[in-house]
Amino acid sequence: MESNQSDPAKWFFSDILNGNERVVSFSNVVINREKDTTAGVLSALNFTRVAFDLEQSSPLLSAIIGSLHTENTIKKSLAICQGWSHGLHMEVEDIYRVPLFEKSLKRVSTKYGRSTPDWLTTMLEDLKIANSSAAILLTRCPEVVACLRLCNIAGPDVFVIFNPRPTSGQQQEASLTFNTSLAQTVQRLCSILPEEKHDPAPGVSNWRTLPLGNCYGHIFVPRATSHDARALEDSLIVSSLAALELRVELSELQREHRTLTAQNQLLENSVIELVEELQEENIKAGRVLSYKPIVETTSQDTGSVTWSTNPYPKLASPSIGKTPWRAVGDSPRSRRLTTAREIDTDLKLSCHFSTGKTPWRAIGDWTTSRRIVTDLEFARRLQATFDVEDTELHDQMDQLLRTAQRQYHCGICLDDFPEDDAVLIESCGHVICRDCVRGHVCSKIDERRFPVLCPVCMADHTNPNPGTISGLLVELLGISEEQYKTWEEMEMAQFSVLV
């Protein structure tokens, strides 16, 4: 500002009315960019409220503008952000419902779109529809800008842009921009809110669901307020009721929290009891599985039911290809004695069950015998199921073993390879992996040594007739053309005669 003018405020106002854009910056009076968008919305709404209060208290637009661009007004507008220490994001509609703003401002409409010059021009033209001064609050994370249109009866309306926080790359200072030109105001807003081309990452909250180039525009107009004691008392009552409602909601939430905590504790206790019952049932099932069941087998000679001493013969069988364990350790004499004992016991029990008279000494009371019969039936069903599964597994394993490729052990590199990689040296019968034979042959060709002996036979110094590698085998090894030409030369050299 020019210090040599007699009245700087009037000169400042007249310069704005002449169509010049004036930007006033306030060093070290700014919202930290690390704070959330809520702090910017609070400061912008508070600045709008202060500006409309100044308009109601003074009819002269020059006096209003003179008071707006003072550092005291900016500090007063940003003072509300000092008490906001939460990182929780709140929508503009929720912040507006605070009695401080709802009593002094009236929200007219809300629009959103990309921050293009056309869209911003449309939003500023909407401000002229109101019969009084109006303001638009533009929000796009993390930027928050307030643009006011102050009515001027004697001249053009004045646009005031309040930027509480600097954009990235600017100095750390809040700024006010005064202008009477709508086009220049739009250009200034485009520099503060440049149009973005990228979309945000998925999973963000509702206020970030739109592309980053989009922003919300909330239009406000002033309400008629009174600053007498009665109005202040009414405002205090409304604020107290709002705080009381919040306390009631907090109490209900705390009560619900205690109820849910008690329910969770009951559910945890129920889970513990169910786990204990499950463990008991598992123990009972283990006892049933360990019980020796009756296996019914039809004998062609006697036609009777025999008792098996091995409850799970196939489940405990050894690996495939070996002798089943039914035949391991069972001599003919022991099998005959066991079969006779089983037939004798089965005949006695069959007689008792058919007559319905069970000896007290042999089985016990009727309840015990009934429980035993039930357990045996259950065990027989389990054994039948296990036998079917075991047979299927044996068949599958046999099929896999028939189709699986055998492995062989290379005596040179001491590694195991599939049978297809084996190379048989016919002269000596040694089997070596293809890589070892190829490397051995290539090294001997480079050394011009012929014939090429079997590497296994070479390691055996006691072998008087080591095997040799034939030309047909060399062709199958896949050596290079130059090496094969050398091999042919060495083969022909053995038939050459010195003259």
Q: Where are the domains of the chain?
A: 8-195+213-246, 416-495
Write down the pLDDT at residue 474: 83
CA distances from 377 to 41, 347, 368, 461 (A): 77, 18, 14, 70
CA distances from 206 to 34, 137, 210 (A): 20, 18, 8
Alpha-carbon span 38 to 42, nearest angstrom: 6
Lowest mean pLDDT: which of 257-261, 303-307, 438-442? 303-307
CB 179 within 8 A of CB 186: no
pLDDT for residue 362 is more than 90: no
Q: 451 preceded by cis ω (within 30°)?
A: yes
Residues facing residue 237 across a β-bridge = none
Strands 143-150 and 158-163: antiparallel
- Return all residues near 151 (Cβ < 8 A) that are at least 6 apart: 61, 132, 133, 157
- Give the H or E element holding residue 343: helix 332-355
Residue closest to 120 by CA, chosen among 192, 21, 221:
192
Alpha-carbon span 65 to 60, nearest angstrom: 9
Assess if CATH 3.40.50.12280 describes domain 416-495.
no
Is residue 151 exposed (0-12), middle (13-18) or buried (19+ Cβ within 10 Å)? middle
Write down the pLDDT at residue 270: 92
Write down the pLDDT at residue 450: 83
Is residue 368 exposed (0-12), middle (13-18) or buried (19+ Cβ within 10 Å)? exposed
Give counts: helices (H), strands (E), the chain.
15, 11
Give the tens place of pLDDT for each residue, 86-100.
Answer: 667 788 888 888 888
| More confident of the two residues 261 and 499 | 261
CATH code reported for the domain at 8-195+213-246: 3.90.70
Write down the pLDDT at residue 226: 66
Give the tens place of pLDDT for each residue, 47-86.
Answer: 999 999 888 888 888 888 888 888 888 888 888 877 776 6
Instruction: Give the mean pLDDT of 258-287.
Output: 90
DSSP assignment of 358-426:
--TTTT-SHHHHHHHHHHHHHHHHHHHHHHHHHHHHHHHHHHHHHHSPPEEE-TTT--EEEGGGEEE-T
Alpha-carbon span 70 to 4, nearest angstrom: 19
Q: What would you report as the CA-atom Rg of the chain, rounded to the nearest whole angstrom?
A: 49
Q: What are phi and psi of 384, to 5 degrees?
A: -60, -40
Instruction: Give the mean pLDDT of 279-297.
Output: 70
164-173, 249-258, 373-382, 432-441: which has the highest mean pLDDT? 249-258
Hey, what amino acid is at 48? T
Instruction: Give the mean pLDDT of 406-411.
Output: 77
Residues facing residue 175 across a β-bridge = 25, 163
| Half-sphere exposure in the Cβ direction for 40 (13 Å, CA) | 25
pTM: 0.48
Helix axes 117-127, 182-192, angle to 10 degrees: 130
